[in-house]
């Protein structure tokens, strides 16, 4: 029996190729050419996530008793680094010269959680939504990594785009309790 060496083509279930920006005329993945776009347009995005630590890990973090060190500072730096490396992690993302990255981590005592907020901006030909999402995700993963010795039950949830501005699609702001619409 011969081994199958090709991956089944997912394009059979996709919309017509011409309506997808990252698919060529044959249905294969392709990077969008942003070379003709206005490179001076300011673009920004904010993404958030939440790390549910549980009581024991939250108390250890709050009392600075995590063996790996200063969790919030390390997670902040990890998020900033991640935003700058997004194009190396997400195949169809273009490398961008980011002008600003901010990652804030807020302790939520009532929930025994950490809320992560990442803001990214640039002047460039394409948006920074993925950079903001990547920053929030990696900051959250760093909190998990540094606290996992206290609890393996830590959960990362609610990774989402909160706001974006600039570009052809204009401004987006998440509405409270928004549910994705069917395409």
Cβ of 126: how many Cβ atoms within 10 Å? Answer: 19
Decide if 94 contacts 126 (C-beta within 8 A). yes
- At residue 25, the pLDDT reads 72
CB-based burial of residue 35 (10 Å sphere; 0-12 exposed, 13-18 middle, 19+ buried)?
A: exposed
Contact between 114 and 106 (Cβ < 8 Å): yes
**Residue 166, phi then psi, degrees to nearest 5:** 95, 165
Other beta carbons less than 10 A from residue 154's beta carbon: 21
Q: What is the pTM of this model?
A: 0.81
pLDDT category of residue 16 using cuts at 50, 70 and 90? low
Range in 47-61, 146-160, 167-181 the model is least confident about: 167-181
Higher pLDDT, 121 or 39: 121
Q: Which DSSP symbol is given to 27? A: S
Exposed, middle or buried, 17 (CB in 10 Å: 0-12/13-18/19+)? Answer: middle
Helix (H) or strand (E) holding 106: strand 98-108
* Of 24, 33, 145, 158, catalytic: 145
Backbone angles phi, psi at 126, to 5 degrees: -150, 160
8 burial (CB, 10 Å; 0-12 / 13-18 / 19+) is: exposed
Task: Convert the pLDDT of each residue in 117-154 to its tens digit.
Answer: 999 999 988 899 999 999 999 999 999 999 999 999 99
Query: Which pLDDT band holds residue 6 (cuts at 50, 70, 90)?
Result: low
Residue 2 confidence (pLDDT) above 60 = no
Closest CA to 86 of 76, 96, 78, 77: 96
Kindly tell me if the per-residue pLDDT of 55 is higher than 90: yes
Residue 158 DSSP code = E
145 noted as active-site residue: yes
């Amino acid at each position: 029996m011969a081994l199958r060496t090709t991956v089944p083509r997912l394009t059979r279930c996709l919309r017509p190729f011409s309506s997808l920006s990252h698919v060529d005329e044959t249905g294969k993945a392709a990077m969008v050419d942003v070379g003709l776009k206005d490179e001076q347009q300011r673009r920004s995005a904010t993404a958030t996530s939440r790390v549910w630590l549980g009581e024991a890990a939250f108390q250890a973090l709050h009392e600075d008793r995590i063996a790996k060190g200063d969790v919030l500072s390390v997670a902040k730096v990890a998020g900033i680094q991640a935003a700058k490396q997004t194009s190396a992690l997400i195949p169809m993302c273009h490398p961008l010269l980011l002008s600003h990255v901010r990652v804030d981590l807020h302790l939520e005592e009532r929930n025994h959680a950490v809320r992560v907020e990442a803001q990214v901006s640039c002047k460039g030909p394409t948006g920074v939504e993925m950079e903001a999402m990547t920053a929030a995700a990696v900051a959250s993963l760093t909190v998990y990594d540094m606290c996992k010795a206290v609890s393996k039950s830590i959960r990362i949830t609610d990774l989402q785009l909160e706001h974006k501005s600039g570009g052809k699609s204009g401004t987006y702001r998440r509405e409270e309790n928004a549910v994705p619409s069917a395409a």
